[in-house]
Structure 1
Amino acid sequence: MEQIIDANVERAAALDTATLSDALDKLGIAGQCYRIKPRSGEFRMSGRAYTLQYGPAANPPGTVGDYIDDVPPGSVIVLDNGGRENATVWGDILTEIAYRRGVAGTVIDGVCRDVALCTELGYPVFSKDHWMRTGKDRVQVEAVNVPVNIGDARVQPGDIVRGDADGVIVIARQHEEAVLDAAEAIGRAEDAIRAAVRDGMRLDEARKQFRYHQLQTREAQS
């Protein structure tokens, strides 16, 4: 399937999550996914959210994951399993299919399994942890493409999701221009500080010149 270029997703991909986190703080916007970490420090991803909400299994139980063929290439699959760490909702079959379909990555408020394959393929998976026990007959999909919670951050379908070695950031669609603009400005200032220090300037002087201590200061609300 052909993937359409999304300019703001590309902008987010060029920024690290630390810089995006500082931009969120500057604007007073939540979006840092607490305790959601990459299964490999080499994983990077950027894309728009395709969300799923999980709940306890019914009797008879529903499915854990027959949705993968509907996920558009370039999306980030966002699975809200309520932070459960006693049963997984992601494993090797989903990893292989997502990888072959060109999905950008997977984020889980909970755990995954079969970490060896996602590492081997270089398919980015971010979660609270990993453990082998299946979610089959324990949890089920309740809803697809609805607002969900990932590490205390609200994620709506279509929000930008960015992940790297430091974790995962969510940028709400209604704020993405402001967040990306702020993050790019922070990135330019930090690059200027590093360049000045390499040229011999004292760090405290460089920070003052490029207003380092104001970079993450929350803007006054009008």
Structure 2
Amino acid sequence: MPTADQPAPDLARLSGLSTSGVSDALDKLGIRGQALGIAPLDRAFRLAGRAWTLRYGPVGEDRGTVGDYVDDLGPGDVVVLDNQGRLDATVWGDLLTTTAHRRGVAGTVIDGVCRDVDRSVGLGYPVFARGNWMRTGKDRVRVEATQVPVSVGGVRIEPGDLLLGDGDGLVAVPAARIEEVLRAAEEIERAEEAIRRAVEGGASLRDARREHRYHDLQHQGAS
């Protein structure tokens, strides 16, 4: 059984890819998985893991709660917080970062904002969000549901879906389609590396692209 030091084979393969390659594979397969507007707090951040989801909503008569769910997470989990894209109230900060890092959580994704960026960067704990701001979400948002389908950057993410993040952003892969996405992305990245080597060896980009069928790589239905 995979451990924190030995991730599941699909996660190991996914972590070896780029979001660009996976994005092209998603296009090829007609899957919408590119999370618009979600970016790493530090461009050096990378994450790969399975989605553990939580949906927030505005408070009502009660004072709301931001939740202590992080105590139940561990290696391979990516916390996915749907705060409906709100930029005026955070749902992630110093204490959550510290706890998640200690527990080996793979990273955090927020459709919204976080705070205490220095802690995340200092620990090397990956956070992908719409930005950062210091205003707390306490008494402004409440946990509505956990482990349910959520929306992040216009992409539907379900518990257990696979996520990959790097300096170019975040992509989500439906768990049921991970193998075909991995195969397509690996093919695309092999072809692009071959084109790169050919150009570095003196070939024209036009000839290298033609030889490796570059323009067919992400077309739906191309084989």
Paired AA for residue 180 in structure 2: A
* CA deviation vs aligned residue, 1:112-166 (integer Å, no higher than 9, x gap): 0000110111100000011000000100111110000000001000000110000
Contact 1:35/1:128 (8 A) holds in 2: yes
Asked if 1:187 corresponds to 2:185, the answer is no
- The residue number in structure 2 matching 1:114 is 116
The whole-number CA distance in structure 1 between the counterparts of 2:80 and 2:143 is: 12
The whole-number CA distance in structure 2 between the counterparts of 1:81 and 1:119 is: 22
The whole-number CA distance in structure 2 between the counterparts of 1:110 and 1:5 is: 29
Counterpart secondary structure, 2:210 = helix
The whole-number CA distance in structure 2 between the counterparts of 1:80 and 1:74 is: 19
- The residue number in structure 1 matching 2:52 is 50
Superposed counterparts of 1:116-195, under 5 Å: 116-195=118-197
1:97 to 93, 99, 102: 99
Contact 1:65/1:89 (8 A) holds in 2: no
4+ residue runs over 6 A deviation: none
CA RMSD of aligned residues (A): 1.0
- The residue number in structure 1 matching 2:19 is 17
Work out the percentage of aligned pairs sharing the same amino acid: 56
Structure 1, unaligned stretches of length 5 or more? none
With normalisation by structure 2, the TM-score equals 0.96
Counterpart secondary structure, 1:102 = coil
Contact 1:28/1:219 (8 A) holds in 2: no
Q: How far is the alpha carbon of 1:201 from its aligned partner?
A: 1.0
Contact 2:64/2:140 (8 A) holds in 1: no
Counterpart secondary structure, 1:82 = strand
2:219 to 214, 217, 220: 217
Q: How far is the alpha carbon of 1:72 from its aligned partner?
A: 2.6
The whole-number CA distance in structure 1 between the counterparts of 2:7 and 2:112 is: 30
